[in-house]
A and B are shown apart, each in its own frame.
Chain A
Amino acid sequence: MSLDLEDELRTSSDLTLDRSLAQIRVRGDRLRRRRTSLLIATTAAVCLVATGLVLAVSGRGPLAVDVSPADQSSGPRPPDQVLTWSGKPTNVTDAELTMMKKKCLPGAQQDAATTAGTNPEMPNSIDPDRLYPIFAERRTDFGPEHDDILRTMFLTDGYLVHCGAYTTDSGQPRTEDVVGSADRIKPFPDMGRWEHFSSSWTTNWISFMLPVPDEAASVKFFIGGGYVDGTINSGIAAAWISAAGVKKSQDTVGFAVFDADGRRIGGVDPVPSKAWPAD
Chain B
Amino acid sequence: MRQEAVSFDEFGAFYASHKDRCLRATVASGVDPARAEDAVAEAFARAWARWRTVRNARSPAAWVVRTAVNADISWWRKRHREVGPPQDVRSDQPDLDGRRDLIAAVRRLPKRQREVVALRYILDLDTATTSVALGISPGTVSAHLHQALATLRTDLATEGAHS
Contacts and interface: CB of A to CB of B under 8 A. Distances in A.
B53 A25 contact: no
Contacts of A64: none
A18 B37 CA distance: 8
Contact of A145 (B46, B57, B86): B46
Interface in B143-163: 149, 152-153, 156
A249 to B, nearest CB: 17
Contacts of B51: 28
Interface residues of A, number: 34
A277 B22 CA distance: 30
B15 A21 contact: yes
A24 B49 CA distance: 10
Contacts of B102: 5, 8-9, 12-13
A16 B70 contact: no
Given A10-B122, A17-B20, A27 B41 contact: yes
A5 B89 contact: no
B103 interface: yes
Most chain A CB atoms below 10 A, which of B63, B102, B117 = B102
Interface in B12-46: 12, 15-16, 19-20, 22-24, 27, 33, 36-37, 40-42, 44-46
Interface in B48-94: 48-51, 53, 56-57, 63, 66-67, 70, 72, 75-76, 86-87, 89-90, 93
Given A27-B45, A145-B46, A168-B53, A17 B106 contact: no
B86 A12 contact: no
Interface in A30-61: 31-32, 35
Interface string B120-146: 011010000000000000000000000
Contacts of A168: 53
Contacts of A24: 15, 41, 44-45, 48
Most chain B CB atoms below 10 A, which of A19, A35, A144, A166 = A19
A168 B56 CA distance: 10
A19 to B, nearest CB: 5
Given A10-B122, A12-B102, A24-B48, A17 B41 contact: yes
A29 B15 contact: no
B106 A9 contact: yes
A17 B36 CA distance: 9
B72 A144 contact: yes
Given A21-B12, A21-B15, A168-B53, A15 B20 contact: yes
Interface of B: 8, 11-12, 15-16, 19-20, 22-24, 27, 33, 36-37, 40-42, 44-51, 53, 56-57, 63, 66-67, 70, 72, 75-76, 86-87, 89-90, 93, 96, 101-103, 106, 117, 121-122, 124, 149, 152-153, 156
Interface of A: 1-2, 5-6, 8-10, 12-19, 21, 23-25, 27-29, 31-32, 35, 144-146, 148, 166, 168-169, 203, 244
